[in-house]
Structure 1
Amino acid sequence: MAITPNNLLKINSTALFPAQVTFENLLGVFKVGLTTRWFTNSLIVTGITTVFTLLFQAMAGYAFAKMKFRGRKVLYSLTLAGLMVPKEALFIPLFLMFSQLSAHNTYAALFLPRIAIPLGVFIMVQFFKGIPDSLTEAAQIDGASPIRTFFSIILPMTVPALTSLGIFTYILTWNDYLWPLVSATRKEMFTITTGLASLQGNFAQATELGSLMARGSIASLPLLILFLIFQKYLIRGISMSSGGK
């Protein structure tokens, strides 16, 4: 439907193959509203969120899985308890916190609430438990510090798990609608999801099916490319994190 002229879709929108092909709908996506800016905002927010999430979740997972400290089990249980808290329940305290910091309508407000997720910690802990303790013990005998052991020896071994976690994070952040809708009130700070949704208030944009499908196709294109490139790493990371061989 994205490559079918709008005038033909008004007559028949159930055809499996388009009677006529046009790329006007796809080319016109970036001419409507601030779509280019919204697309760029999503790329920036999603990229920053993914990088920081991978770093923090890997560090936390390594600490819970390999390091001995008082209260580790209790702290890990409290972290996993966060899985039971719906993200919508956090909107009010998050909104008030960023309001006090005057940080709404900034990139920081869009990516900071997403960089600490309990699911990521759980995935990394499961992966790190499969790494023999003899590796870290050998590094300690050679005089390597815990930080050097983590970044030089352990982290390079976690590429499959980091890849799967990165894909999950990227998809969830790119598709996130509710928090950007709450935090970003200026149009120039909309992400692609909130920006395209705001166009539905325009009657012409909401009734032109070809343009509507074209916007959806463009918005989902980065996710499709990401999955096609990293699908084998995603499957491998999931199997290794769940204890598979």
Structure 2
Amino acid sequence: MIKAVVAGALGKMGLESCKAIVKAEGMQLVGAVDSKEIGHSIGTFIGQPDINIVVAGDLEQVLRDVKPDVLVDFTRPGVVQRHIKTAINAGVRPVIGTTGMNTAEIEEFRQLAAQRRLGGLIAPNFAIGALLMIKFATEAAKFFPHVEIIELHHDQKMDAPSGTAVKTAESVAAVRGQISQGMPSEFEKIAGVRGGNFDGMRIHSIRLPGLVAHQEVIFGGLGQTLSIRHDSISRESFMPGLILAIRRVMNLDHLVYGLENLLFE
């Protein structure tokens, strides 16, 4: 039985994670951490009143008390970094969906996990369709090196661009080589209208109520364009990937960045 604690348990992704873990065969939800509703049962928030797990505010104390195998984290930048260190130091495998960390931080956590020979995962996106989008886009970039990325998320998302957009851009940049893209003499009449520049390609971030998580990768070539798009229309779309990740990290002795490294291995 894999025992899991969820941090950010009362957030939208946290609640879905708790529900998915409770339903998953061979898994047990043993702890819920959040800054809200401390002392109340998580069962009442996920439609499982018979689950008597009290929401706690101190992650370190919860890990000591329940000794889980895995920590699932959907909190926010500035909090998740502390949670990852706390988990690894406690010998608990981190499965992290919180985005907004930089490359240096991820490398620090990778080294910390390696010292403990502890499995873990930091994933910008748990939707399997989104991972396939990145894979297909990377293949397309070999033939269509001129590319722009448009990512669309709900208006409560804190970081921009999304971790998925950054991961896509990194994968595309790795295969397309040095490309001079667009008109060298172009100028912006409104600052930022052309989006962010990542290794010569542009990333555009849209934030609106009603959206969940969406991304389109648009390639341009001689007389043709190619668009690859993925849409998460509900947060349930992330749960099959999350459950897969929880199972897979149990057999790892190092921390991995990107669920695709477990899905397409």
The two structures have a TM-score, normalised by structure 2, of: 0.23
Structure with bigger RCO (C-alpha 8 Å, 6+ apart): 1
Higher strand share: 2
The two structures have a TM-score, normalised by structure 1, of: 0.25
